[in-house]
Chain A
Amino acid sequence: MWGPGGVTKPVGGIPRFPGSFDRSSPAPPFPRGDAGHPAASALPEPSSRPTCGCEYFFLLQASLMKLSRTAKIGLVSCHPEVYEPCDDSFALVDALLADREHLIEHRPRLCMELGCGSGYVISSLAIMLGELGCGVHYFATDINPDAAQVTRETLEAHGLHAEVISTDIASGLQKRLAGMIDVVVVNPPYVPTPEEEVGCKGITASWAGGENGRTVIDRIFPIADELLSEKGWLYMVTLTANNPTQVCRMMKEKGYASRIVVQRSTEEESLHVIKFWRDGVITNSAEGSDSWFSQFPFKSFWRSSGSSA
């Protein structure tokens, strides 16, 4: 069910919705290697292109360096009611990796993951920001107490620490943490489902997103806006069915610029990891000229998503 080389624990009963991204299907565009992360299979075949040994060595080294900057799948804890790292988790971690140098320059002091699930993403973030040392601290929340526990185990297995809280998004924290979080990462429940499945007990809460998969996403934005510091960045996974163009337009009205950091398509759907930051707060030159309008690949959206957009 998870594809060759992937984790084997089946997640039964995740229904497919028409036009939705199926979180349980194998995804041909991101084949997994033994380590379960796309980076593990990113090495070029030596025979497929002319490479000298030296170049191959450097590619190998670069790939290993990338690999060591994410959590190890073998160390990620699991539970039958907790969503395991899947393509969307890998897309989010790859987006953070792609933006890693900016993140290091950004020098965040407090980072937070909303909906931490297995803990793979927050652990990866802590690993890739490792060189910032003990000047950065992490919070992770999940509505599912089993997920909070699994996240703690995953962090411990990597020798990391984040403050894990079992709560709905950031309930109980957002008042006191308002304006303090420099990096918020979210892989929200984005699968279009009937409204009554949103926030259900157990693993359902990890994917059930209500109408257009937007019910929880639309609750997260004002909370993230409250939590983010003046220089804060938000990274969020969305699906074409969530109408990300409209999401970005809505955030623009709140004063946020945005850009797509990672875009991935499966046969059925397309995932985007979008980065948001307060427009006018230019923290590094690479971000200064970005705008959602110039970044958004409208054409490819319409081509790939058909009627579901």
Chain B
Amino acid sequence: MRLLTHNMLSCNIKGVANGFPLRLEAEKWVEKEVELNADFLRHIFPKIEWKALAGAARAVGYGELPEEADAAMLDSEDFLRRFHHALLEIHVEEGALVCPETGRGFPITKGIPNMLLHEDEV
């Protein structure tokens, strides 16, 4: 699971109002290099919740993202590189995503988050 996906996931339990961001508890993660595509990064940037990304990146030991970001920073190659690395090159293999409201944990196994709900949560 890339941090891009973490940024797009929220708790889906019925009645939960503040299910985003899920707290990332990473036990195992890997880094895989991918080619940087500035066009994609510029396109996705407005949709990214920056604080959630920076927090998730810290959870996997990457502290190189600024606390806040705005679109003007996209002109900086250095910023793009950090943004790219955090969003697309870190893969969480094992761990959990925890709902900030209910504390319910969603396991991440072999890189796949399991968002399936129990019957009483739907």
Question: How many A residues face the partner with a CB closer than 8 A?
Answer: 25
Indicate if the CB atoms of B40 and A166 lie closer than 8 Å. no
Chain A positions 152 through 181: 1 when the CB is less than 8 Å from some CB of chain B, otherwise 0: 100000000001111110011101110010
**How many positions in chain B have a CB within 8 Å of any CB in the partner chain?**
31
CB distance from B54 to the nearest CB of A (A): 16
Q: Mark B16-39, 1 if CB is under 8 A from A, else 0.
A: 000010000000000000111101
When distances are taken between beta carbons in the complex, the residues of chain A under 8 Å from B2 are 163
CB contacts under 8 Å to B, within A162-217, are: 163-168, 171-173, 175-177, 180
Q: Quick check: is B96 within 8 A (CB to CB) of the other chain?
A: no
B1-20 interface with A by 8 A CB criterion = 1-2, 4-5, 7-12, 20
Q: Does A148 lie at the interface of the complex (its beta carbon under 8 Å from any beta carbon of B)?
A: yes
Question: Distance in Å from the Cβ of B93 to the closest Cβ of chain A?
Answer: 11
Instruction: Give the residue name and chain of the B residue nearest to A163 (CB).
Output: B5
| 27 sampled A-B residue pairs with Cβ under 8 A | A109-B43, A134-B36, A136-B40, A137-B40, A137-B88, A139-B5, A145-B109, A145-B112, A145-B114, A145-B116, A149-B110, A152-B110, A163-B5, A165-B1, A165-B5, A165-B115, A166-B112, A166-B114, A166-B115, A168-B115, A168-B117, A171-B12, A173-B115, A175-B20, A176-B7, A176-B47, A180-B47
Give 19 new A-B contacts, CB below 8 A, not counting A149-B112, A172-B9.
A109-B40, A134-B34, A134-B40, A136-B40, A137-B40, A137-B88, A143-B116, A148-B114, A163-B2, A163-B5, A165-B112, A166-B113, A166-B114, A167-B116, A168-B115, A172-B11, A175-B10, A176-B9, A176-B47
